[in-house]
Structure 1
């Protein structure tokens, strides 16, 4: 089973508009509300790949109840730490080929809340083969909080995939116990290194050779429509994807993490791991729903992903 952690879940609300008018009324005919947060998007796609997944994290209030109801409707097993605060809404306005997001910060957790979740997490690790940790930390938790979750998993020999950003990611990377995989984008990579990283092969190869990334099995740098650049152990790969019709890009990075986790659980060869991760990411962009794929189209797109190994 794959354990998908979302520390700051949300109700994701998508407003598609032909035109977004500032300082005026915008009427939306088709509203989508989804049990969201990056880790729940991951869990949804894993479930759609017919893999066993358990969603966990911290939630509360009527929005927390709604999230659990929505997960249950799609048969996603879940076991959250309940708190006496309200979970959050996250709004995406899709307009003029662009995406404007309005993200609530969510509840403020106490030190006791943080310790209680670590205890629950440790209990849930039994019977788990892979862990994904996705998204931002709630207010109240120190930036190094994810280090404990990574360490707990790795101590039991469980691969832990971390998809976060900023100081939370930096704290994970400088810790003595490394995550099994990370998936920053180009902007996040540049922020980590304190310098702009160009999308070219030489620049990316040099960036991922930095001491900060030593000891991490998989590093996948997402490049949007240009695919990805990946380091696996000492090897580098350029992943190229076909042009596709994009319906809704929200959650495509989470779908990529889901594909990566599922492929690792299936013990696929390196090339197939990369192709699976990129295929699920593409499939998400082709659907209106956030963190959702049509698995029936998997094989066709899978064959169109091109993998080139780069000489070290």
Structure 2
């Protein structure tokens, strides 16, 4: 079983507009509201792949109830811990081929709520074979909270796929018990190494071989339409993907994580689950609904992806 962790979920609201007008009103004929947050996007794609999962996290208030109802309607299993403050909204305005996001920071959690959640994870991990951690920590959680989850996973010998950023990512890569797989982008890698930017694939390859990152078995760096660069133990791989028409890119990185998690859960070789991850990211980008993939096109995309050592 897969356990997905979303510490700061949201109700994702998407407003598709033909034109976005500033300093006046905008009318939207269709607004989409879904249970969101990076980990829940991962969960939704895993569910479409028929991989067994439990979505864990923290929810509160009416929006927290909406999330549970939304997942239940989709037939998904979840085990959320309740908090006193309300879950947040996140708004995406899709306009002129662009995407403008307004992200609420969300609730502040107490130490006792974190303890309750950790205890719930301890029970869930008795069934888990892969753990996926995605997204930001809520206010009130210590920067190194994910390290506590990594310690628990290490104790139970469960591989962890980590997709976070900022201080919580830095804390995790510096921790003794590291994730099995980390999925940053190039900007996040630069931030970890304290450099201003990574200008090209050659610089990124060098960065992935740094001492700070060497003990993480697999690092998958998203390169958007250019695919990905991957460090797997001592080797570096480039993943090339075909050009596609993008409808809604929101959640494509999370769909990619779902592919990585699914491949690890199913015991697939590295090359196979890298291809799987890229396909799911592309399929999500072609759908209007975040965290949705049309698997009818899976095989066609899969055949067009190249993974090779560089």
TM range (shorter): over 0.9
Contact 1:14 1:32 in 2 (8 A): yes
Q: Which residue of the partner structure matches residue 243 of structure 1?
A: 243
- Distance change >3 Å, CA 235–CA 159, structure 1 → 2: same
Q: Which residue of the partner structure matches residue 151 of structure 2?
A: 151
Q: Deviation at 1:160?
A: 0.4
* 1:34-74, Cα deviation, whole Å (9 max, x unpaired): 10000000000000111111100000111000000000111
Q: Deviation at 1:196?
A: 3.6
1:189 to 2:153 alignment: no
Q: Which piece of structure 1 moves more, 203-212 or 251-260? A: 203-212
In the TM superposition, what are the counterparts of 1:44-83 in structure 2 within 5 Å?
44-83=44-83
Q: Deviation at 1:200?
A: 3.0
Structure-1 separation of matches of 2:288 and 2:252: 11
* 1:144-174, Cα deviation, whole Å (9 max, x unpaired): 1100011111221100011000001000011
SS in structure 2 opposite 1:281? Answer: helix
Structure-2 separation of matches of 1:102 and 1:35: 16
Structure-2 separation of matches of 1:282 and 1:197: 26
In the TM superposition, what are the counterparts of 1:105-116 in structure 2 within 5 Å?
105-116=105-116
Contact 1:197 1:204 in 2 (8 A): no
1:91 to 2:91 alignment: yes
1:295 to 2:295 alignment: yes
Structure-1 separation of matches of 2:151 and 2:296: 37
Gaps of 5+ in 1: none
Q: Which residue of the partner structure matches residue 208 of structure 1?
A: 208
Contact 2:187 2:198 in 1 (8 A): no
Structure-2 separation of matches of 1:290 and 1:154: 32
Question: Which TM-score applies when normalising by structure 2?
Answer: 0.98
In the TM superposition, what are the counterparts of 1:1-312 in structure 2 within 5 Å?
1-198=1-198, 200-310=200-310
Contact 1:253 1:281 in 2 (8 A): yes
Question: Which TM-score applies when normalising by structure 1?
Answer: 0.98
Structure-2 separation of matches of 1:285 and 1:93: 15
Structure-1 separation of matches of 2:203 and 2:182: 18
CA RMSD of aligned residues (A): 0.9
Gaps of 5+ in 2: none
Q: Deviation at 1:197?
A: 4.3
- Distance change >3 Å, CA 199–CA 231, structure 1 → 2: farther
Structure-2 separation of matches of 1:295 and 1:60: 33
Q: Deviation at 1:266?
A: 1.1
* 1:188-212, Cα deviation, whole Å (9 max, x unpaired): 1111111144353321111011111
Structure-2 separation of matches of 1:196 and 1:223: 17
Structure-1 separation of matches of 2:226 and 2:56: 32
Q: Deviation at 1:215?
A: 1.7
Q: Deviation at 1:217?
A: 1.3
Structure-2 separation of matches of 1:171 and 1:244: 36
Structure-1 separation of matches of 2:205 and 2:187: 15
